[in-house]
Amino acid sequence: MRKTVILTVNVHGLGPEAAEAPEAGLFGRFAHGRYTYRIGLWRLLDSLAAQRVKATFFWPVFEAERCRALLERCLADGHEVAAHGNAFEDHAGLGDGEAALLETAHARLAALSGIEPKGFRSPTGTLSPATISILDRLGYAYDSSFLDDDAPYSLAGDGGPRMVELPFAEGLADATHFRRRLTQARAEAFLVEELDALIDADSYACVTLHPRADLGVGRAARLLMLERLIARIRDRHGAALRLCREVAEECRQGGSVIWDGRPRS
């Protein structure tokens, strides 16, 4: 089995805070997100380009509207642009309005990026019982919001007969550790521990990054940590860094999702 790692970036700027309070009042500790626009995402893109890594960027419409130049740069660098909701809504609480919101967000991101997104990740982590079927109807090939497996599987049982789940691992997400205000060295140790074990288990790992300075890797010092992590993925594990849409497409065979030679429902 070819070892596969997907590098995913949740493009979070001021969006999470702006969903809670008027944007004009976001200063200081509530404005860490502005770092994403001013320097963090530029730096992350520079770093990935220097390392010749293609990643999958989950873009909320809120953030895509605010940094068009960065969205263009992201596309020009060959990264995948995937959907990440509208403006950090809680999908478990949208009720009957969810389908319209997802349709509008899908159309807007497609218009801004010029490409129909094939993948989705919940902006706040939550999904409703209807989310996957709405995404399936809109033509999505995969979701990456679940935490319940170590390898891709079919979403047929969750309302998405044409969709693949590319689960992510909380332990392999920068924000999990930086939210706890760990030192960088400790956060790196946690990430390495998770990465090594996941690849050994099922030849699959999903790394999740944020361009913010507080919860993410947008800082100059933390990008060096990302460089070491990518070197480890390539050199120690011999794993391929792939785009989510490629992985989703390859593991769909007939009506099934096949991973490591086995159908996964």
Partner 1 sequence: MTAAVSSSPGAKRDATAAAGSASPASRWPGQARVVACVTVHVDGPAVEAGKGLAPLGSNSRGRYAMRRGVARYLDMLARHGVKATFFCCGHDVEHYGQLYRDIDAAGHEIAAHGYQHEGWDLGDAEPALLEKTHRLIIEAVGKAPVGWCSPSGRKSRHTLPTLARLGYRYDASEKDLDEPYFPEGEGENPSFVILPNNTVSLDDYPFYATGQALACEVLANFIAEFEAIRAAEGYLHLTVHPMAGGGSGTPARAAAVERFLAHLEGCPDVAFLTLAELAGHCLAHPQAFGGGPA
Residues at the interface with partner 1 (CB under 8 A): 13-14, 23-35, 37-39, 42, 66-67, 69-70, 178, 180-186, 213-214, 219-221, 224
Nearby residues of 102 by Cβ (< 8 Å), 6 or more positions away: 85, 131, 134, 135, 138
Q: Which lies closer to partner 1 via its Cβ, residue 119 or residue 211?
A: 211
Residue identified by tokens 């990643």 is 55
Q: Cβ 262 to partner 1, closest distance in Å?
A: 40
Q: Alpha-carbon distance 121 to 88, whole Å? A: 11
Q: Cβ 98 to partner 1, closest distance in Å?
A: 27
Q: Which lies closer to partner 1 via its Cβ, residue 5 or residue 18?
A: 18
Bridge partners, 208 (sequence order): 8, 173
Q: Cβ 63 to partner 1, closest distance in Å?
A: 10
Q: Which lies closer to partner 1 via its Cβ, residue 23 or residue 250?
A: 23
Is residue 16 within 8 A of residue 35, CB to CB? The reply is no
Q: Cβ 88 to partner 1, closest distance in Å?
A: 16
Q: Which residue in 57, 61, 16 sits closest to 34, CA to CA?
A: 16
Q: Which lies closer to partner 1 via its Cβ, residue 92 or residue 182?
A: 182
Q: Which residue in 173, 168, 121 sits closest to 142, CA to CA?
A: 121
Q: Terminus-to-terminus CA distance in the chain, angstroms? A: 19
Q: Cβ 70 to partner 1, closest distance in Å?
A: 6
Q: Which residue in 87, 85, 214, 204 sits closest to 140, CA to CA?
A: 85
Q: Alpha-carbon distance 248 to 145, whole Å? A: 14
Q: Which lies closer to partner 1 via its Cβ, residue 36 or residue 154?
A: 36
Q: Which lies closer to partner 1 via its Cβ, residue 95 or residue 221?
A: 221
Q: Cβ 89 to partner 1, closest distance in Å?
A: 20
